[in-house]
Amino acid sequence: MLKQTEGSAAVAETVAACRPEVVCAYPISPQTHIVEGISDLVRAGELERCEYVTVESEFAAMSVCIGASAAGARAYTATASQGLLYMAEALYNASGLGLPIVMTVANRAIGAPINIWNDHSDTMSQRDCGWIQLYAETNQEAADLHVQAFRIAERLSLPVLVCMDGFVLTHAHERVDVPEREAVDAFLPRFEPAQALDPAEPVTIGAMVGPEAYAEVKYLAHAKQLQALDAIPEVAAEFESAFGRPSGGLLRGYRTEDAETVVVALGSVLGTIEDTVDAMREDGVAIGALALKSFRPFPVEEVRAALAGAKRVLVVEKALAVGIGGIVSADLRMALAGLEVRCDTAIAGLGGRPITGEALRGLFEDAVAGRLRPLTFLDMDWERVEAELRRLGEGGRSGPHAENILREAGIVAGRSH
Amino acid sequence: MEGAAPSRFEVRVHGRGGQGVVTAAELLSVAGFDEGLHAQAFPSFGSERTGAPVVSFCRFDTRPIRSREPVSRPDALIVQDPTLLHQVDLFAGLAADGYLLVNSGRDLTELGLADLLDRHRPERLLTVPAGEIARRLLGKPLPNAALLGGFAALTGRLRLDSVQAAIRERFRGKPGEANAAAAAECFELVAARTGEGARA
């Protein structure tokens, strides 16, 4: 039903329409509204045959999902930030065991310094944990991706992360055509597990594997992710014919046909990027954008094909790999290997710093003019950074960086060291 | 952002945690949706502590809204708490022909904002005793609904009945009716004073 609603509420209703049999809930901002919304639906009796389990931690949330999924139940949970890190060990187990769990991550920065706002540090930190990672640009897509995620997960026996920008999407009210239950029922068949714990037919899920077979079992996880490169666009196409709107897939180009400069990004920032692209196109600049919808698996061939005609590529990333810079960029450069395409990285929006059209315009103009260095930090206050580095260089007890920078910013009172 | 179609209309709401700052933007977006517009409401994330300054945003457009950045050049400002007037840079980016609605029983000159009247179209800058209206009709000085009614009359961007429908959808029963009445009273008050754009 088309309505004006909060992103979290739309996701909660959509997940309920997917009829999960076990939902594990542990609150953490900015994800909490989602599991609260599902809890309301369970309590009101609108989600039948669903066990809603309040657990004591994120580690427990994922562990209960693993148990439920291994027993053949459709299992779901949601988390963010430190919560995702706290379940890291269980994430590897879920994927390694081939359990088709679906989880929403309301993307949020990671401390220290503690910060509850949006960036992609959390899911990027788990890029190698074996889960499929899909990124939503809008709340409509966030809702739709959950329907697709269960189908992809269960087809491949792989867990899927649906990533939506915390606060920017989860707390935004906009129009969403929330998938109707009947339509979801028709789209999403009952879960038929490829493996299930059944006392009548005992199997071992999670047997120890030594050097004689570990590499082969591990490779199968890679092979399944590569299969997902086919499954993701297939499911997106099936979704479009069933629901009448495009959503998901591996990637989406925007005005890339004759673009000399292409900006690559993930998630909700693409909206502001596309507005900026339009404004620059009006001024005659050959610029376009590429929305990366699937980060894991990384669609190497598709990205290469989409960017082959470009002269330069700028990756706008909402996460920082400390010690090197970009995360998505590294994969992108692999996709572009051998092509005469320059690839630069801009780190933007860390810890919820707004990414404005004005700042993007300046950044893109620098990219077009070839003025960018390989690694750029958008809207960074270099004076503050350099003052703190000087303080540190002076030796002695320079104090904690976070507090010092907050003093410089006038947010915390008191003298500077 | 620059270059946006003139159909775009952007609102920023300032208040304190607990006054319904975030709810105000959400209700505006629901009323806009009911009138067939694209609408996007979102809070200034994460800072919603009781009593702390809070900001929320609402965009309207006849076309789909893609931008996600905070509203920095608002077409209209709603100020729920006049004690913020000299603490926070409330008027940053307000267009010369922008609208301002402040919850106060005093006028802008009395509030020390006479200079605003020189820089903007004075008939678009108003104070209304929304808190007092709410105290009388709701029993609590929650200015939210009244201000939304006032916003509809001041800007002509929304109809009173869609604002009231959004209020009743959020607050069922008696509180919904009392808030809808507060919106209507403030709508009439503003309409009588400006005459501009009011569509009952």
| Class of domain B9-194 as given by CATH | alpha beta
As beta bridge partners, residue A377 has A347
Q: Which residues of B touch A (CB under 8 A)?
A: 1-4, 25-26, 29-30, 32-34, 38-43, 45-46, 65-70, 72
Judge whether A4 is closer than 8 Å to chain B, CB to CB.
yes
pLDDT of residue B87: 81
pLDDT of residue A286: 98
Judge whether A339 is closer than 8 Å to chain B, CB to CB.
no
pLDDT of residue B18: 86
* E strand or H helix at A72: none
Q: What is the mean pLDDT of each run of 10 residues along chain A (417 residues)?
A: 97 98 96 97 94 97 98 98 98 97 98 96 98 98 98 97 98 98 96 94 94 96 96 98 98 97 98 98 98 98 97 98 97 96 97 97 98 97 95 87 88 61
- How many residues are listed for chain A in this entry? 417
Q: What is the mean pLDDT of each run of 10 residues along chain B (200 residues)?
A: 66 92 96 98 76 93 96 96 87 94 96 91 95 95 95 96 97 95 97 66
ipTM for this model: 0.92
Instruction: Name every chain A residue with its beta carbon within 8 A of the beta carbon of B72.
Output: 356
| Helix (H/G/I), strand (E/B), else coil: B117 | helix
Residue-wise pLDDT tens digits, B115-174: 998 999 999 999 999 999 999 999 999 999 999 999 999 999 999 999 999 999 999 999
Judge whether A281 is closer than 8 Å to chain B, CB to CB.
no
Q: How far is C-alpha B75 from the geometric centre of its chain's CA atoms?
A: 11
Alpha-carbon span A267 to A261, nearest angstrom: 19
* Cβ pair A235, A151 in contact under 8 A: yes
Alpha-carbon span A228 to B121, nearest angstrom: 58
pTM, full prediction: 0.95
Residue-wise pLDDT tens digits, A379-410: 999 999 999 999 999 988 888 999 999 988 88
pLDDT of residue B6: 61
Instruction: Name every chain A residue with its beta carbon within 8 A of the beta carbon of B66.
Output: 270-272, 274-275
DSSP string for B12-66: EEEEEBTS-HHHHHHHHHHHHHHTT-EEEEEESTT---BTSEEEEEEEEESS---
pLDDT of residue A397: 84
Q: Are residues B1 and A171, on separate chains, in Cβ contact within 8 Å?
A: no
As beta bridge partners, residue B50 has B17
Handedness of CA A32, A35, A39, A45 (dihedral sign): positive
Instruction: Name every chain B residue with its beta carbon within 8 A of the beta carbon of A29.
Output: 46
Structural domain spans, chain B: 9-194
DSSP string for B134-182: HHHHHSS---HHHHHHHHHHHH-SS-HHHHHHHHHHHS-HHHHHHHHHH
Please give the domain boundaries of chain A with CATH numbers for all domains. Answer: 2-243 (3.40.50.970), 251-377 (3.40.50.920), 387-417 (no CATH)
* E strand or H helix at A343: strand A342-347
Minimal CA–CA distance to A107: which of A34, A52, A42?
A34
